[in-house]
Structure 1
Amino acid sequence: LAGRNYRDFLNEIDNVHETIRFSHPKMQSPSFIVQAEDRQGCILIYRSMRTGFTYYVIGQLMQCAKMFFNVDVEIKVLEEIITEKGCHVTFRLNFDNIGYTAPGEPRSRGTQLAAYPDVKSSTFFKIFPFCLVFNSKMKIIGCGGNLASLLRSQELLGSDVKDMFCLRRPLVDFTWTNTMCLQKVIFEIEWIKDNACSAKDAVTTNFKACRFGEERATNTKRLLLRGQMKYIQDWDAMAFLCTPLLGNLDDMLKAGLYLHDLNMFDSSRDLVLAGQQCASDLEYTMEKQIAWSKQIEDTLQKLDIARQQSDNLINSMLTKSVADRLKRGDDAVDTCEAFAEVTILFSYLVRFADICTEGSPMQVVQCIQNVTEVYDKLVEKYKLFKVETLGDGVYMVAGGVPDKCSDHAEKMAGLALEMVENARHVKNPITGVGMQVRIGMHTGGVVAGIVGKRTPQYCLFGDTVNTAARMQTNSEPGRIHLTQPCRDCLKETGYVTVYRGKIHVKGKGEMRTYWLAGRQGEQSTKDMCKLLRQEHFKKKQRKAENPFDFHSIHNSTSTSSFITISDLSDEEEQELEQTLQSVIGEA
């Protein structure tokens, strides 16, 4: 496609690159210019912004000659100059240059033209209304009619062509010698007289590819001319046979041109109209792309919301620290960890079995839902971890796990008091009165980690869990039952604990246990201590009247809160009385 022979191919390489540039505007193609030629070959100038490709280019030139034209080529590097801006290489190509005709050598008979009368200059300028003619001194001596009216011929004629136009392509200096040597290369020049373009822009080492639709920062009109340099021997001048380089109707109007000004015999008009159609298609495509981008943006926002909801759900089930480890790809087994000291709480809805027996399934579910919603908010308030909710009305909470903290017992005590208080506001679906809960707490060591893959759950294991559950079963409605280790953690925290006594715990034997009365200084704490004092007095009185009252000893649901396996010792009696007196006797 580039030419009939290898010589034509070499002359057309730059033109092929120029055509490709419209499809790939950002491409910075190299330049190949035939500087001189003879019957045995030619001198080829290779310029590129990239360095290190000299011998790659040699291989490409030799392979193209052999593959497309069946010509053997010998290539030598005559000169190679490498600068910061790229490389400049001069090649000598030796091959059978069958297409070359020496100057003055007669053409073959098949290529001789019939004799015609000379064409007048006026006719020439009508045929090429945008042409530009300059002599060997680079002075403009003539121009086409349309170019003259557009750029004011009185300023053009006699001016230096380099003062009026900037050479954009090819990558050479704008000189008479170069234009004579490069008559088979496409030239592209830009009108600079009104565009405040510096003289340095005329040097093509500062060349920058121009694209359709490109606009300068200023609002001045821009005119690009593209065509071929042709030496006219009769005039001893160079004629630049060109047409305006226009992309669409907007470019044409900005250049001050109209469709009437463009030639009918070339593709100028077609390019402008086709460019306008392309611009419309591009605008439509951009609108579709903007709509699609908006849709993608909306989808991403929905995805972020869904991801946030998913993260919140996972964090509520596994805690954020554990969930983050699983997201990072950690194995579930790696989340298992031993905790030396945590506080476990069990809460049970009193008479829940009666609700399940007498109520409908929906009433049971609604009751559990109401209580759980209240408890979940409290757990979130105190930054504790809800382990699970069991179907028999049991609610389990842990403090100090999986996120370790030193005040886990203090937080759990505050949670327990609010659970007792808020449970009263949840109505029993059968009786219509407020619900009651009994709570047990214990402090000790546990092992915790993720169990399961399909439905993973963060579980706690160890004797501490079992002991806390026993405290709940041995507690009473509206009361918070503590073990000795849990009570020790609450010392100096502002919470009041009242000694209950030693009770027998299944699998544990006798254990010293306490009631959590409340916070110091609160009226509810005083009221609880008064109630405990009255119950203790009644128990002592009943004991004195009937030393063998086995019913009162073993009935855990009697009015006495101090029924134990063994009676309180004198020291325990004194400790209990001092605690109650210190709270009740406060001003």
Structure 2
Amino acid sequence: MLYGLVLDSARDGIIFQYGSNVWKRVIHELKLPSDTFDLFTHYNDQLLLNISECLVDILREGTRDTYLHFFGQDFFRYFAKLDYDKVFRVAGRTLRDFLFVIDQLHDSNRFTFPHMRHPLFHVTEEDHTGVTLEYKSIRRGFTHYAMGSLTGIAKRFFHEDGMRLYIRDDLSTNEYTHVVLWLQFDNRSHQPENLISSRSLPDVTCATFFKISPFSILMDSCFIIRYLGDNIKKVFPTDTILMGRPLNEVFRLIRPNIHVEWDKILSYGRHIVFLMDNRLPLRVGSTGKIRLKGQMKYIQNKNMLWFLCHPVLGSADDMISAGLHLTDLSLFDNTSELLVTNMRRSKEVEEAFERQKVCLSQLEQAKSELSKYHRQNQNILSTIMPKHISLMIQSGIPVCSLCESYPLVTIMFTYIMDLKMSTAYLKPIEILEVLNTIINIVDSITDRFDVLKVKTKMDASYMFVAGLHDRSNVILDSLEMSRNLFLLTSDDDANEKNPSGFNPTEIIAYLSLEILHASKHLINPMTRKPFGIKIGFHVGPAIGGVVGDPKQQYCLFGDAVTIAREMMNTGEIDRIHMSHAAYQQLVANRRFVIDHRGETHFKGRNGSETYWLTSVNHSFFTTSINRTKNLSRCPFSGQLL
């Protein structure tokens, strides 16, 4: 599991490098429950890998490892924002020094991140041109994240812009990652060890040696315990034999995760923090537990290892579990002071933690409500303008730049006959009921089609447009707008309401037939008969954009709008009238029955051939009913046509 700190640094890096629109796409594609991560909450390791793969799909460049490397390198910029970078600035005077203390830095964070399962970085060789560094982790797939982290550290804190990083060997298995890295940089600060031939101090007796270090273990090359510090002896029962026993019978090595072998311990012992706990029961009982943390020191003239350690204690409960007292601890460090302070403040911390849990719960509830209202806002906007336009407005793109030129769209006008005259004789409540019925019926039909209802007037006339969602031929106002449009939309949007892939004119044709069919249920309260309806549509170029501030409205302009309106005006009641351009878009696939009307004259224009859309072609999209009759159904709604 990963702490949210790592994931939130990736989120911040995406926004910093690629913009907030890309992060919104990631949230949408991965269906993330929130747009941020809690720093101290555990998340699945796979989530960071999924985010990297999602970026490959969105940005159409690089690989998963490319973005993992970027996340690792950018982590320290994010760390600096949280004011955590000071610990790295004092960790080592040079990059070489820092590489030797990475494991200690990870270990020092055990109070802040108590469940952190950090990787192991171990320098095995070095010369004046660089170092060989082994990287081990229980996580699979994070090698390039670690490499990016090393690159980021070198550049940000040690100004090693010329450092080169290579994978020398990959010893990974199905259980863990083990990679040998070569870091090439100016390592002239490295000085080979010099052996001192003459002794300047007298020998130290064994009694003095262990009096100074009461928490220490001395073992030979076979890892047989030869001596124990007095304070370690105290925690075990007096009748438990400890001397002369193998180390792994008395203690269990927790970290590093290696087999207890002489050569490995000598190699790791120079700069890796070792952590062990007891296998044998303690004096306090079988539930007692003591953890010892420290460094392995090689005593060359005796060919022995000295584990110089101290107990890991975070609270009074840890002391009770280990069977230790304050008098057993060193007077020269702050362990005793920390324990006493923790005892005094533990209740305050618990109360603060409970308050934090309540606040986090309220925060999650507020985020959930905000997300719900945000979705409602998106739904409202998508009913009055194209979805991609509404997303761009919400992302902060200036309204004045939202202008698109459509080479080919299909525009349809409908008009409810006699409604205006009938309202003169109806009561206000009756007028509202009639309008509400008409609008609800038309909207319920429109919602199933990939069209935009551009205008609705109180005389129940409508303007519909299809083809705005097909942006393959859209001419955008600027390259920046083109980039934002690509990032905010996906191919799934276009297929959501048009799974069969009909062209925009076919969509309008199906919509017009269904509206005509539904108009039979729009009853005139005065005559008790259905209202008549006139429908007309045309295909042509148009320009779309958002106008108005602060009341924004999406409008469509162009000659095609005027011709589509004339198609409706010159049509007949309860018939669907279309232009020759629309006819050309429908005739190829033969999905509809079309009658030739003849030449029609418009105001201020020459005559033009027009047509009647009669019905769906029975040889297409038919459904057998009672095995005796074939009836045409709309492929969008299933309604009989």
Q: TM-score, normalised by structure 1?
A: 0.51
- For 1:50, the equivalent position in structure 2 comes to 98
- In 2: Cα distance, 1:246 partner to 1:516 partner: 84
Residue 517 of structure 2 is aligned with which of 403, 406, 421?
421
1:501 Cα shift? Answer: 4.3
Match of 1:480 among 576, 580, 597: 576
Residue in structure 2 matched with residue 392 of structure 1 by the alignment? 459
Q: Provide Cα deviations, 1:324-375, integer angstroms capped at 9, x if missing partner.
A: 4445555545543443433221111111112331223343333233222222
Distance 1:315 1:479 in 2: 30
The equivalent of 1:582 in structure 2 is none
Structure 1 residue 448 corresponds to structure 2 residue 534: no
Note closer, same or farther for the CA distance 1:340–1:275 as it changes in structure 2 (3 Å cut): closer
Shift of residue 195 of structure 1? 1.3
Q: Where do 1:172-571 residues align within 5 Å?
A: 194-196=250-252, 205-208=270-273, 221-222=289-290, 246-257=313-324, 272=339, 274-327=341-394, 330-332=397-399, 334-401=401-468, 403=470, 407-492=503-588, 493-521=590-618
d(CA) in 2 for partners of 1:143 and 1:509? Answer: 111
User: Which secondary structure does the structure 2 equivalent of 1:346 belong to?
Assistant: strand
Q: 1:443 to 1:88 in 2, by over 3 A?
A: closer
Q: Please report how far the alpha carbon of residue 481 of structure 1 lies from its aligned counterpart in structure 2 after TM superposition.
A: 2.2
* Contact persistence 1:426–1:435 (CA under 8 A): yes
Q: 1:152 pairs with 238, 255, 258, which one?
A: 238
Give 2:105's aligned residue. none
| Counterpart in the other structure of 2:124 | none
Q: Structure 2 vs 1, CA of residues 354 and 215 (structure 1 numbering), >3 Å: closer, same or farther?
A: farther
Measured against aligned partners, the alpha-carbon deviations of 1:542-580 in whole angstroms (never above 9, x if no partner) come to xxxxxxxxxxxxxxxxxxxxxxxxxxxxxxxxxxxxxxx
Distance in 2 (CA, whole Å) between partners of 1:379 and 1:141 is: 83
1:388 shift after superposition: 0.8
In terms of mean alpha carbon deviation, does 370-379 or 243-252 score higher? 243-252
Distance 2:550 2:88 in 1: 54
Change in 2 beyond 3 A, CA 1:283/1:89: farther
One-letter amino acid of the structure 2 residue matched with residue 436 of structure 1: G
1:435 Cα offset (Å) = 3.0
The code of the aligned residue for 2:580 comes to Q
- Equivalent pairs: percent with the same residue? 23
The one-character-per-residue Cα deviations of 1:204-241 (angstroms, maximum 9, x if unpaired) are 6245288xxx9789987326699xxxxxxxxxxxxxxx
Give the 3 Å change call, closer, same or farther, for CA 435–204 of structure 1 in structure 2.
Answer: same
Q: 1:470 to 1:282 in 2, by over 3 A?
A: same
Q: One-letter code of the match for 2:367?
A: L
Partner SS, residue 289 of structure 1: helix
The alpha carbon displacement at 1:141 in A equals 11
Query: For residues 101-140 of structure 1, what are the alpha-carbon distances to aligned partners after superposition, in whole Å with 9 as ceiling and x for unaligned?
Result: xx9xxxxxxxxxxxxxxxxx9xxxxxx9x969999xx986
Q: Is the 8 A contact 1:482 1:515 kept in 2?
A: yes
Q: Given residue 270 of structure 2, which amino acid in structure 1 is its aligned partner?
A: T
Mark the CA change 1:256 to 1:516 in structure 2 (over 3 Å): closer, same or farther: same
Mapped partners of 1:321, 1:331: distance in 2: 14
Equivalent position amino acid for 1:194 in 2: V
Distance 1:47 1:385, change over 3 A: closer
Q: Is the 8 A contact 2:235 2:323 kept in 1?
A: no
Instruction: Note closer, same or farther for the CA distance 1:394–1:217 as it changes in structure 2 (3 Å cut).
Output: farther
- Aligned partner of residue 251 in structure 2, secondary structure: coil
Report Cα offsets for 1:393-452 as digits up to 9, x if no partner: 210112223526973222222211111111222333444443331112223333333333
Distance 1:142 1:338 in 2: 83
Q: Map Cα deviations across residues 290-333 of structure 1 (whole Å, 9 max, x no partner).
A: 33333333322223222222222222222123334445555545
List runs of 5+ in structure 2 lacking aligned partners: 1-84, 102-127, 134-186, 193-200, 202-206, 219-224, 254-259, 281-286, 295-308, 472-500, 620-641
Residues 63-119 of structure 1: CA deviation (Å, up to 9, x unaligned): xxxxxxxxxxxxxxxxx9x977998999xxxxxxxxxxxx9xxxxxxxxxxxxxxxx
Q: Distance in 2 between matches of 1:301 and 1:215?
A: 44
Separation of aligned partners in 1, 2:551 and 2:516: 31
Q: Which amino acid aligns with 2:238?
A: R
Contact 1:342–1:401, Cα closer than 8 Å, also in 2: yes
| Structure 1 segments unaligned to the other structure (5+ residues) | 1-23, 33-45, 54-79, 91-102, 104-120, 122-127, 166-191, 227-241, 523-587
Per the TM alignment, residue 486 of structure 1 is displaced from its structure 2 partner at its CA by 2.8
Distance 1:279 1:164, change over 3 A: farther
Inter-partner Cα distance in structure 2 for 1:502 and 1:439: 18
Give the Cα–Cα distance (whole angstroms) in 2 for the partners of residues 486 and 142 of structure 1.
95
CA distance in 2, matches of 1:339, 1:243: 74
Measured in 1, the distance between the counterparts of 2:565 and 2:92 equals 87
Q: Could you tell me whether the CA contact under 8 Å between 1:322 and 1:402 is conserved in 2?
A: no
Give the distance between the partners of 1:376 and 1:288, measured in 2 at CA.
48
Question: Could you say if the C-alpha distance between residues 216 and 317 of structure 1 is closer, same or farther in structure 2, counting changes exceeding 3 Å?
Answer: farther
Partner of 1:188 in structure 2? Answer: none
Residues 275/464 of structure 1: CA separation in 2 closer, same or farther (3 Å cut)? closer
Give aligned pairs, total.
381
Q: 1:331 to 1:246 in 2, by over 3 A?
A: closer
| Separation of aligned partners in 2, 1:505 and 1:31 | 84
User: For the structure 1 residues 220 and 434, does the alpha-carbon distance in structure 2 shift closer, same or farther, using more than 3 Å as the test?
Assistant: same
1:6-54, Cα deviation, whole Å (9 max, x unpaired): xxxxxxxxxxxxxxxxxx9x8997799xxxxxxxxxxxxx99943899x
DSSP-derived class of the 2:521 partner: coil
Q: TM-score, normalised by structure 2?
A: 0.47
How far apart, CA to CA, are the structure 1 residues paired with 2:512 and 2:229?
102
What is the deviation of 1:466?
1.7
Whether the aligned pair in 2 keeps the contact of 1:417 and 1:518 (CA below 8 Å) is: yes
Give the drift of 1:389: 0.7
- C-alpha root-mean-square deviation of aligned residues, in Å? 5.4
